[in-house]
Structure 1
């Protein structure tokens, strides 16, 4: 794709990055075939190729309108187009640049600004946890639309206390400890069952994804730096002892962001090297499965304990299969443990959650959820649906009576019910 950037962008780091990405695009249109919003709306400007053209026009100095902003807003950032693209166009990074420029030039309607600010500040606030507990206490009286965003309260269970020679850090996250606390505790227990101790840095917080995708990229970079500072004593202990093996992340939306720290902070002389090291250490929990399976299989003794639902439908999150390019590992491991795992038709398509997208674009998110659940319900008569990201789990659960869980919770339940090895 030929480009001629406006003088204000030519020669800048973002302009150079955008130009390099744009020039890889060959207009083939393969991306439109796998774009969820294009499939729903049928509008070229609501598909990756159209959005690429819009961003190109913006960077070349064309007028920026509210319509431009709306087309970029409707993108789920699922990055399915990146998986499909034969030319390796880094669409996600280009979209980040385009959204930032458009946000600086187009004023949003007041109510939309207020909602985005509420999500940006509220979800990352220390007050989110007590607010969620209050919501759970009065959940039965909440309106249906709000009740769908407030999962029933569940006790997380015990956190293992036995010191282990092998140690990993875990990102607790900002929303997950309050909404689904059992996911982090279950992760610590299944790692302990394989002889690995899970540590949490007290001062680590939000990964930065929420602010980054809600018009506050500078705030997101500050959160990334704060996490690096919180994790660094565990990565490079002051006493010279070995650091942690990995930073384990069980929410794939956070994982894809932490793995991008090196890119986002590459021009920061104080943090570039540390950010690259953090990204290299970041692991989705599923990446540890080959190392964890033997201990789990020994504990289970070749069969699932009674009371554990064996038939599962698996929804692979976009941030796992497209953002991190991790496919097949969860299904293979669950099958090796004795679960019957089915992938639904159109398993490559987004469920509509996409972080705060289900709040900001409820109509599109609802259509995508209904489509996804139809396929999941038809996948092998499942007794439960499993996924690997809190956003997908809570979004899908709002539309089905079937339990929707993180896959690690089912593994934890099986190991807990089994006799100790």
Structure 2
């Protein structure tokens, strides 16, 4: 694709990257076949190829409109198109650049501004979000349906192991997950403890930066990243083997720290090291697959439907690892029809684009339930909460199955 970027963006870091990405696109349209919003709306401008054209026009100097903004904001950033693209177009990075440029030039309505500001300021701050969620849980039956589905019932986390081990790894606690589903990280710590690996949580680490980044607050996101690097660095210097991610959305973001902070001389080297150390849970447990299989042989007789989050299968390009671990310990794992498609959660998307989000969830739930599984499992807090609001079947993080089985055999 030929480009002629406008002066305001041409010689900037973002402009040079956008130009390189745009030039890799060959207009083939393969991406439209796997774009969830294009499938729902049938509008070229609500597919990756159309959005690429819109971004190109804006970067070449055409003034964006509210309509431009709407088409870009309807994108889930699921990055399915990247998996499909034969030319390797890095669409996820391009849409982030395009959205930021458009948001700087097109004002949101007052209602949109308020909603986006609330998400940007509330969700990443655990000390604010946690008490707010607890208050919501107390009055959950009285909440309007749209809000009630965003407030899961209170969950127990169980015991955090207290043993120390020679092998240590860091664990990102996250911002919303500890309040919404506290058992996920505790279960992960218990599983690793059984495998003689100690998980450490750096108390000053918080939101990975994804929420602010995808809401166009790139500077705020970079501050989140720097804070986490500072919090983790002592443990990294002390020999922590990895930074474990139990939420695939966080993993996709932290693996990008090296790229996003490459321009910061004070953090570039450390950020690259953090990205290299960051591993999704499913990248680490295969090392222990044989040990887990030996311990749990014949102990699990369960059929589950596995929903691979977009941030895992498309963002991090990790496929087959969760299924492999679960099948090794005896779980009957089923993939549903269209398992490559987004469930509609997509971070804050379910709040900002509820109609499209619910349509995608309804399709996904129907396909997951058609597997005949007793339980639905996934690997990202947003997907788990979103799916649970649409089904009566239990929706859990896959590590909780292994934790349950290990607890049962002790």
Instruction: Name the TM-score class by shorter chain.
Output: over 0.9
Deviation at 1:123, TM superposition (A): 0.8
**Per-residue displacement from partner, 1:32-56 (whole Å, max 9, x unpaired)?**
0000000000000000000000000
Equivalent residue number for residue 222 of structure 1: 223
**Per-residue displacement from partner, 1:331-378 (whole Å, max 9, x unpaired)?**
111111111110000000000000010000000000000000110001
- The answer on 1:372 being equivalent to 2:364 is yes
Q: Is the contact between residue 304 and residue 339 of structure 1 (CA under 8 Å) also seen in structure 2?
A: no
**Per-residue displacement from partner, 1:203-257 (whole Å, max 9, x unpaired)?**
00100000111121100000000000000111113xxxxx100000000000000
Distance 2:249 2:62 in 1: 33
Equivalent residue number for residue 398 of structure 2: 407
- The answer on 1:198 being equivalent to 2:199 is yes
**Per-residue displacement from partner, 1:173-224 (whole Å, max 9, x unpaired)?**
0000000000000010111111110000000010000011112110000000
Distance 1:277 1:332 in 2: 28
Q: Is the contact between residue 136 and residue 153 of structure 1 (CA under 8 Å) also seen in structure 2?
A: yes
Q: How many residue pairs get matched?
A: 409
- The answer on 1:304 being equivalent to 2:295 is no
Q: Is the contact between residue 96 and residue 216 of structure 2 (CA under 8 Å) also seen in structure 1?
A: no
Alignment of structure 1 residues 17-416 onto 2, 5 Å: 17-125=17-125, 126-237=127-238, 243-300=239-296, 302-304=297-299, 310-379=302-371, 381-416=372-407
Q: TM-score, normalised by structure 2?
A: 0.98
Deviation at 1:292, TM superposition (A): 2.1
- The answer on 1:3 being equivalent to 2:3 is yes
**4+ runs deviating over 4 angstroms:** none
Q: Is the contact between residue 21 and residue 89 of structure 2 (CA under 8 Å) also seen in structure 1?
A: yes
Equivalent residue number for residue 240 of structure 1: none
Distance 1:141 1:7 in 2: 54
Q: TM-score, normalised by structure 1?
A: 0.96
- The farther-off stretch of 118-127 and 173-182 is 118-127
Q: Which has the higher helix share?
A: 2
Deviation at 1:298, TM superposition (A): 2.8
Q: Is the contact between residue 158 and residue 186 of structure 2 (CA under 8 Å) also seen in structure 1?
A: yes
Calculate the aligned-residue CA RMSD, in Å: 0.9
Distance 1:292 1:353 in 2: 31
Equivalent residue number for residue 16 of structure 1: 16
Distance 2:299 2:99 in 1: 48
